[in-house]
Amino acid sequence: MDHVFSGVTKFQKEVYPSKKATFQKLANGQNPEVLFITCSDSRIDPNLVTQTEPGELFICRNAGNIVPPHSNQTGGMTASIEFAVAALGVSHIVVCGHTDCGAMKGAINPEGLDSLPHVKEWLGHCRAATDVVKERCGHDKLSIDDLEAVTKENVLQQIQHLRTHPAVAAKIATGQVELHGWVYNIGSGDMLCYSSETGDFITMDQSEAEARFKRANAAE
């Protein structure tokens, strides 16, 4: 914990002064472009991975980068999504999974979560992902060998859940919000992004990023 305290001191003495104008502007409000939904895993740093500054990402984190389908029961994710889209006016929503995800390992083997009842119930939101992978593989039980497939499918299923949220559905219908599915490889640093054109996840490299930028500008 000592390094956490010393980090705060370093921020106050070295980092804040160099970005004082930015923080003073942010003190009066925020205007993020992106709602970034990712896992709580300590190895994931959204701002580091995307090289963004404070105020650019509205970040929601939970075990398994899960988006519960919309219901009349209010939860933290539901309220945060509604606020980001309807109040802050974000124009992009990213659901970002990652390699070696403990939540996805739990979804693959829910029987091993009996001592963690709340985790087990939460990961019920991943059932569609595991069922899809089972159907594709043609077997009744998944193993660790299916982890990559489940991780990718879970991202796609959570995007489907996003579409059930009224605020999101309304903005999608009017072309004001775009959804993105990503998977971050912790070991290699690669970012995979889902392509509706190929129906698969492809590596996000410089050329892909530039192509997406040009398409976004053309759409505007």
53-102 pLDDT per residue, tens = 999 999 999 999 999 999 988 899 999 999 999 999 999 999 999 999 99
User: Does residue 180 surpass a pLDDT of 90?
Assistant: yes
Q: What is the pLDDT of residues 121-175, one digit of tens each?
A: 999 999 999 999 999 999 889 999 999 999 999 999 999 999 999 999 999 999 9
Q: How much is the pLDDT for 208? A: 61
Q: Which domains are present in the chain?
A: 31-41+48-219 (3.40.1050.10)
Does 101 carry a binding-site annotation? yes
96 is in an annotated binding site: no
Residue-level pLDDT at 220: 47
List beta partners, residue 38.
Answer: 61, 96
Q: pLDDT above 90 covers what percent of the chain? A: 86
Give yes or no for residue 177 having a pLDDT over 90. yes
Point out the least confidently predicted range of 5-14, 169-178, 179-188: 5-14
HSE (side-chain half, CA atoms, 13 Å) at 3: 0
Is the pLDDT at 36 greater than 80? The verdict is yes
Q: Is residue 93 within 8 Å of 177, Cβ to Cβ?
A: yes
Arithmetic mean of pLDDT over the chain: 93
Does 137 carry a binding-site annotation? no
* Euclidean distance between CA atoms 152 and 46, whole angstroms: 18
Query: Is residue 216's pLDDT more than 70?
Result: no
- Is residue 60 marked as binding? no
- Average pLDDT of span 170-181: 97
Angle at 16 between CA 2 and CA 19, to 5 degrees: 145
Mean pLDDT, range 38-62, rounded to an integer: 97
3-state secondary structure of 34: strand
Greater confidence (15 vs 211) lies with: 15
Asked if pLDDT for residue 215 goes beyond 70, the answer is no
